[in-house]
Structure 1
Amino acid sequence: MDGGGQYNPRTVEEVFRDFKGRRAGMIKALTTEVEEFYQQCDPEKENLCLYGFPSEIWEVNLPAEEVPPELPEPALGINFARDGMQDKDWLSLVAVHSDAWLLSVAFYFGARFGFDKADRKRLFTMINELPTIFEVVNGTAKKSQKANHSSTKSKSNSKGREQDSQGRYSKQQPPPPPAIKDDDEEGLDDEDDDEHGETLCGACGENYASDEFWICCDLCEKWFHGKCVKITPARAEHIKQYKCPSCSSNKRARP
């Protein structure tokens, strides 16, 4: 493991950067790389933990041997519950424990290097601006995910496609707020604009940006950065029904 003796972020910004890196790695394990994560969590093995590292990679491994460990340890034995629960419930459980571990590591560094009340508050505020891993895994990060339902239906209709500011067809993009509203839209307020702006990637949990390529899963209706799920705009044009890695893995036959 990358113990505290090897890597010690000492400022609020460094601890937050460490938090984001570990979080990104764990989100990969539970979303875009979930098939590999599932296979590594073999219930026949010993107690295993899910680790996230500042370099945005993840690892399933045994806990640290030293007592006490250099860093707080993740939840132990996540592999034992794998076959006793529905996939979605198991991933949600691991996500919750992962969120708790990330906070414990961040505030461990804060305590170790003497963060005062103001620093701790600033660190928590920065962390709290990001959706939790649980929210990313379950698609509840923002209420705007629900608002995408109607746009998801229309994205497969080529007659209704519109081009965005980059000239790309927007059938794989979260629709931007309309610049001009018709008379029958006068009842809509700024909340619609906010919802579009709050769309989050189901893989990395980051916000939607108009200059990035996105694609929506036709099953769970979550939006993803194309780069996060390894889908290019050219490839997307030939996909009739896109299924994200999580939905694809959930379709496998279970014993």
Structure 2
Amino acid sequence: MMTKDVNVNQLANAVMWWLSYTSAVGRNYVLSEGSIKFPVSEYLERSTIDEIELEYGHPKLSRKRFDLFFKKNSAEKIFFEFKYIKNGSTRTQDEKQRVFNDLMRLHLIHDTDNKAYFLICGNQSDFIKDFQKISPNKDQFITPRQKDSLPTKIISEGFYTKWFSFDANLPDKEIDLNDTVKEYKDIYDLFFKEYAGPHLAKTMTALDRPDRIKTSLVFLSGNLEQPTGLFQPAKIGIWEISKASNYS
């Protein structure tokens, strides 16, 4: 059987077209976070890798697992976490917390030969409105100082733009874990509160809190125009998670 080297862009395209096909034939009901493992695994089984494992135990967190792990060239270890956007799930506080938890779990495995990726996908419409360009749940306005002026609506760049770049020309984003904005600070604080125990149990050491972590856009699929009434094609993004330049 012919094999090929793993290419993250090709892997992303395989997932995107598999999701789009599944949607086009009317089987949207099978699409979920767990279903992403099928096209990823099928792609990797035809690739030059030494080992592949689903639900791989985290080496530094007790009772925590990665969605997928594989090894290249007998040394390079690759870790993936998956998310599937459905019914506005990424707008909820619980899911925002889970996304950040995924990023931190990936960040924690960085040794010399490790690489860590976060993959998120969904139908194109949901991806854009519920992740890439998510807007506030309620309209927010700035009250003007001048008596006769009208309130100005705050234009949100999107909750997740603090964590992820959507611009291939500026792919890197550094996440400030000392952010004092409450909606982010609460998420960061809760991770280190809840994961201190699993880290101590696995490594017998305290869980350090870095000042920053880094995400880098690896792949973001383009938008496909579809006539009204046809199925929504899939959209996918992949980011590599690593240490920030001023990691401490």
Q: Larger helix proportion, structure 1 or 2?
A: 1
TM-score between the two structures when normalised by the length of structure 2: 0.33
Q: Larger strand proportion, structure 1 or 2?
A: 2
